Structure 1
């Protein structure tokens, strides 16, 4: 009887340990999948991975845009790496802003969210220009695409400044 109890306790301990290990791995995978830039922790809650809240959807749009940037990494050289870093920094800044907006009272969120949506859209447009430049055949076409991406980033910076400035 003692041996039976001991075997049951060992099996129970192994089962609990397995569940804890799987749970820890799942949390780590969810946190990793929620990052806008891989390896850079996000302040966005894990619940945003599947939430239908507007801020959560904008967060996922940023994450997906940065995934597209990484697919175009064959374009990276001394000139474009700076633009890529600017794209990543803009996405991280908007991601942080989205977390702050989500914490505001509902009445204050709407105008902030509209501006954040514009900012996310300009980041997406800049990413589209950047990725499009990666598919061009000539250096002139690549340069034109990168210039267009830089122009979108300038627009994004102006939108972010207007949000940081607050209401007039």
Structure 2
């Protein structure tokens, strides 16, 4: 009876340990698949270890964000805004990449390939920011490195806005109405001018 109880307890312990390991493993795997820590990615879990082009691009986005977030000097130099921009662009690229990967096979490769320069531009922006932390003894070099990163991030944001505008047009969504400009009233004629008219 005692032996059976010990065996049962051992089996329950082993099963419980296995379940705990499995749950922790799934949680770690899900975290590894996130592009921005703490924000769930729409990418399938298999992309965390897959070798498809879209999965590799997805992981490169996550690596770029982690490189920026893992550099505390960026915060010390007051570059938190740029770091947030990197996160926002990475999430936007990832979302569109997942959508492209869901296209039919005949269109998928070309659609996914279009994201290669965008991912590379994001990586370049991160590299420019990290470079700025190594040259912060020179204000001029620091400003140049940050400017380079800002230009790359601005170009990414503008490219994304253009793509979204094309998508809206293709889906029949009208662009936002441009407010009609009201002409400014012409200036009141001065009393001298009025007087000149009267005497003329």
The answer to whether TM tops 0.5 is yes
How far did residue 49 of structure 1 move? 1.4
The question of 1:72 aligning with 2:68 is answered no
Corresponding residue for residue 134 of structure 1: 133
How far did residue 114 of structure 1 move? 2.2
Corresponding residue for residue 92 of structure 1: 91
Q: Which moved more, 1:72-81 or 1:102-111?
A: 72-81
Query: Is the 1:119–1:156 contact (alpha carbons within 8 Å) kept by the matching residues of 2?
Result: yes
Q: Secondary structure at the match of 1:161?
A: helix
Q: Secondary structure at the match of 1:121?
A: helix
Query: Is the 1:118–1:159 contact (alpha carbons within 8 Å) kept by the matching residues of 2?
Result: no
Against the structure 1 CA distance between its residues 71 and 10, is the aligned structure 2 distance closer, same or farther, given a 3 Å change threshold?
closer
The question of 1:108 aligning with 2:95 is answered no
Corresponding residue for residue 154 of structure 2: 154
User: Unpaired runs of 5+ in structure 2?
Assistant: 171-200
Query: Is the 1:119–1:160 contact (alpha carbons within 8 Å) kept by the matching residues of 2?
Result: no
Would you say how many aligned residue pairs link Structure 1 and Structure 2? 167
Query: Is the 1:35–1:63 contact (alpha carbons within 8 Å) kept by the matching residues of 2?
Result: yes
How far did residue 47 of structure 1 move? 1.1
The question of 1:17 aligning with 2:16 is answered yes
For the residues of structure 2 that align with 1:163 and 1:111, how far apart are their CA atoms? Answer: 15
TM, length-normalised to structure 1: 0.89
Let me know the Cα RMSD of the aligned residues.
2.0
How far did residue 123 of structure 1 move? 0.6
For the residues of structure 2 that align with 1:159 and 1:58, how far apart are their CA atoms? Answer: 18
The higher radius of gyration belongs to 2
Using CA pairs under 8 Å that are at least 6 residues apart, name the structure with larger relative contact order, 1 or 2: 1
User: When you count helix as a share of all residues, which structure comes out higher?
Assistant: 1
TM, length-normalised to structure 2: 0.76
User: Unpaired runs of 5+ in structure 1?
Assistant: none
